[in-house]
């Protein structure tokens, strides 16, 4: 396959960036999108140019590092697919593909397609933990968890923290991520002690990082590579409101 790419190039955080056109040939439909970029980078390096910087690590859809907006869609056109799991067979020979970084002032661009997502780490630090006694590991069946709660918690816990939800949201909101990270703990008995303070601390940090508010549009769920459902946001809203009621009385 022969592909034309328009890629966002930006030298560092403070530099101005622009879309630059490249063309790559000899792309196999079985290559992943990132392997196609590897081919481009080999060509650029061989020609003495600067390779395109992009984040990636596991290349198997679990680490959440890969983060490209492809033709305007975070993680590209396939549903429930991280960029690293997207294959070139979903494109056509001769296509022009636009590749950009996540765009959010809370995720400053470090170079080309790499953004700084430490705002997410700070949201987790603010409340994404539980209190556990130290000592020997507890008995496996010491705390019984209803199957339904375990499922809800696990569904939310699959979030890989990639940030596609922010990239896609017309409000630049990170509530899908924050909801997933708060709810997967709040749904379990072990997470009850901090349930109220966690909800307040995490939305407080979410706002402090400069993310926008959620207006329930749902673009985030459409691009999320692991299918985090929109209800995590509403359930976090419910926890915040009930924590506020309790804080007042």
Please give the residue ranges that form the binding site for ligand FES (CB under 6 A).
56-59, 61-66, 82-84, 160
Residue 100's DSSP bridge partners are 69
Contacts of 38 (CB under 8 A, 6+ apart): none
Nearest approach, Cβ of residue 213 and ligand HEM (Å): 8
* Number of shown-chain residues binding ligand SF4 (CB under 6 A): 14
- Contact segment (CB under 6 A) with ligand SF4 among 25-33, 162-170, 198-206, 240-248 equals 162-170
Contact with ligand SF4 (CB under 6 A): which of 160, 199, 200, 203?
Answer: 160
Greatest alpha-carbon pair distance for the chain in Å reads: 68
- 67 vs 74: CA distance, rounded Å: 7
Applying CB under 8 A, which part among 30-38, 59-67, 86-94, 212-220 lies near other proteins? Answer: 212-220
Both structure tokens of 17: 């960036």
Query: Does the protein bind ligand SF4 through residue 115 (CB under 6 A)?
Result: no
The whole-angstrom separation of Cα 75 and Cα 102 is 10
Structure tokens at 225: 């590579």
- Residue 72 interacts with other proteins (CB under 8 A)? yes
The CA distance from 199 to 238, in Å, is 9
Closest CA to 223 of 181, 177, 157: 177
- Give SS3 for 6: strand
Interface with ligand SF4, residue 17, by CB under 6 A: no
Question: By CB under 6 A, is residue 170 in contact with ligand HEM?
Answer: no
For 81, other C-beta atoms within 10 Å of its C-beta total 18
Where in 171-200 is the site for ligand SF4 (CB under 6 A)?
176-177, 180
Interacting residues with ligand SF4 (CB under 6 A): 159-165, 176-177, 180, 224-226, 228
Interacting residues with other proteins (CB under 8 A): 6, 8, 19, 69, 71-73, 98, 100, 103-106, 122, 125-126, 168, 170-173, 196-197, 200-201, 203-207, 210-219, 222-223, 229-231, 233-244, 247-248
């Amino acid at each position: 396959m022969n592909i034309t790419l328009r890629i966002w190039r930006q030298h560092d955080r403070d530099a101005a960036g622009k879309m630059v056109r490249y063309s790559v040939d000899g792309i196999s439909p079985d290559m992943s999108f990132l392997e196609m970029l590897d081919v481009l980078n080999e060509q650029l390096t061989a020609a003495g140019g600067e390779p395109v910087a992009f984040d990636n690590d596991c290349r198997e859809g679990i680490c959440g590092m890969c983060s490209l907006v492809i033709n305007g869609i975070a993680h590209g056109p396939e549903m429930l697919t991280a960029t690293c799991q997207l294959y070139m067979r979903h494109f056509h020979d001769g296509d022009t593909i636009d590749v950009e970084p996540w765009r959010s002032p809370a995720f400053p661009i470090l170079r080309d397609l790499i953004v700084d997502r430490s705002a997410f780490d700070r949201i987790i630090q603010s409340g994404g933990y539980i209190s556990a006694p130290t000592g020997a590991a507890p008995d496996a069946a010491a705390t019984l968890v209803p199957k339904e709660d375990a499922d809800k918690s696990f569904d939310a816990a699959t979030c890989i923290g990639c940030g596609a939800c922010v990239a896609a949201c017309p409000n630049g909101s990170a509530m899908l991520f924050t909801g997933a990270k708060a709810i997967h703990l709040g749904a379990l008995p072990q997470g009850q002690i901090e349930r109220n303070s966690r909800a307040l601390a995490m939305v407080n940090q979410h706002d402090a990082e400069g993310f926008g508010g959620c207006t329930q549009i749902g673009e985030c769920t459409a691009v999320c590579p692991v299918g985090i459902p929109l209800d995590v946001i509403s359930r976090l809203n419910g926890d915040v409101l009930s924590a506020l009621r309790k804080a007042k009385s």
